[in-house]
Amino acid sequence: MSLHGKVAVVTGSGRGLGLAYAQELARQGASVVINDVDAATADAAVKSITDAGGAAVAVVAPVGPTETAEQLVQTAVDTFGRLDILVTNAGVLRDTVLWKMSDDDFDTVIGVHLRGTFTCVRAAATYMRANEIAGRIICIGSPTGQRGNFGQTNYAAAKAGIVGMVRTWALELKKAGITANAVIPVAATAMTATVPYFAAAVEADEKGEPMPAFFRHDLGFGTSDDVAGLIAFLASDAASGVSGQAIGIGGDRLQLWSHPEAVATAYREGGWTYDALVEGFGDAVGELQSVGEKFPPLPEDLQR
């Protein structure tokens, strides 16, 4: 098994994608620290791994505060002797349009996703550097962070911020041999179950039926297990040369996202004054960039 002897922490791994990641890491031989705010789901997740012959332990604590991050690292070390892999996956949504978004909606989502990723990666990287472990940092982004999405100001900020931090960590941790990557998943979970566009796919999944090819292929929308293989790959020695990347996965689809680059560059001697921009902005920059995700029309038989 490729991850035999390795130890992983997966945040928010009581259910959904995090559970699939933890189970796949365990299948590949890693011992896993499960984390969730919900004790019952965390315990069930541990049981699912130990029943299958793997090793797991639960930490029931909210990701965000530094204390939880330190507890996660300490539990990995105390229980399994070391920490090699961190997957920052815990997440919540508080969706609403900008003008209805409260301070609490914003702070909650930023606290779990952005601050939670920062505090957990800081604790794990500090431990890995001190113990000369060429570890793996895998942070979970979202198409919303890459493209923006109506009603998700807080989530877009957090997820774009996570990819920004990953680029920085790839630079800062390179010398220690630690890789840092972002995974941009799409899958049928509690988080996507209520999106009407995905209803037919979620319905098929719940019945244990295969998801229609339109979802798996055209939209890259499948099950949590479809995402888990990439997590184990990035955690393995086979991916030691992969760092600083944002990798999209879902259903039958694998994608490498580009990082922002200037797509048009124009020079004007003396600089770009207001008048010069009014006169020449369009010609100087060319076609403007699009925002938001573009979905193809849903075939009639898949409309619900």
Active-site residues: which are they? 142, 155, 159
The only residue of 189, 223, 243, 245 in contact with ligand NAD, by rule CB under 6 A: 189
Among 2-10, 87-95, 199-207, 211-219, the segment contacting ligand NAD (CB under 6 A): 87-95
Q: How far is the CB of 68 from ligand NAD (least distance, A)?
A: 7
SS3 98: helix
Which secondary structure element, helix H or strand E, spans residue 64, and what is its range?
A: none
Please name the residues in contact with 281: beta carbons below 8 A apart, sequence gap of 6 or more: none
* 32 binds ligand NAD, rule: CB under 6 A: no
* 41 binds ligand NAD, rule: CB under 6 A: yes
Per-position DSSP letters for 122-155, written without gaps between them: HHHHHHHHHTT---EEEEE--HHHHH--TTBHHH
Q: How far is the CB of 20 from ligand NAD (least distance, A)?
A: 8
The only residue of 44, 77, 101, 191 in contact with ligand NAD, by rule CB under 6 A: 191
User: CA-to-CA distance for 88 and 11, rounded, in angstroms?
Assistant: 5
Tokens of 47: 């049981």
Look-up: residue for tokens 């009603």? 151
What does DSSP say about strands 179-185 and 136-140: parallel, antiparallel, or unpaired? parallel
The only residue of 64, 135, 220, 222 in contact with ligand NAD, by rule CB under 6 A: 64
Among 163-171, 190-198, 204-212, 291-299, the segment contacting ligand NAD (CB under 6 A): 190-198
The only residue of 2, 5, 38, 238 in contact with ligand NAD, by rule CB under 6 A: 38
Name residues contacting ligand NAD, limited to 203-242 (CB under 6 A): none
User: CA-to-CA distance for 18 and 56, rounded, in angstroms?
Assistant: 14
The only residue of 22, 90, 178, 211 in contact with ligand NAD, by rule CB under 6 A: 90
* 142 binds ligand NAD, rule: CB under 6 A: yes
Tell me if 67 sits within 8 A of 120, measured CB to CB. no
* 37 binds ligand NAD, rule: CB under 6 A: yes
The only residue of 8, 9, 10, 12 in contact with ligand NAD, by rule CB under 6 A: 12
User: CA-to-CA distance for 223 and 79, rounded, in angstroms?
Assistant: 31
Tell me if 246 sits within 8 A of 259, measured CB to CB. yes
The only residue of 57, 120, 124, 140 in contact with ligand NAD, by rule CB under 6 A: 140
Cβ distance to ligand NAD smaller for residue 17 or 46: 17
Tell me if 16 sits within 8 A of 189, measured CB to CB. yes
Binding site for ligand NAD (CB under 6 A): 11-12, 14-18, 35-38, 41, 62-64, 89-92, 112, 140, 142, 185-187, 189-192
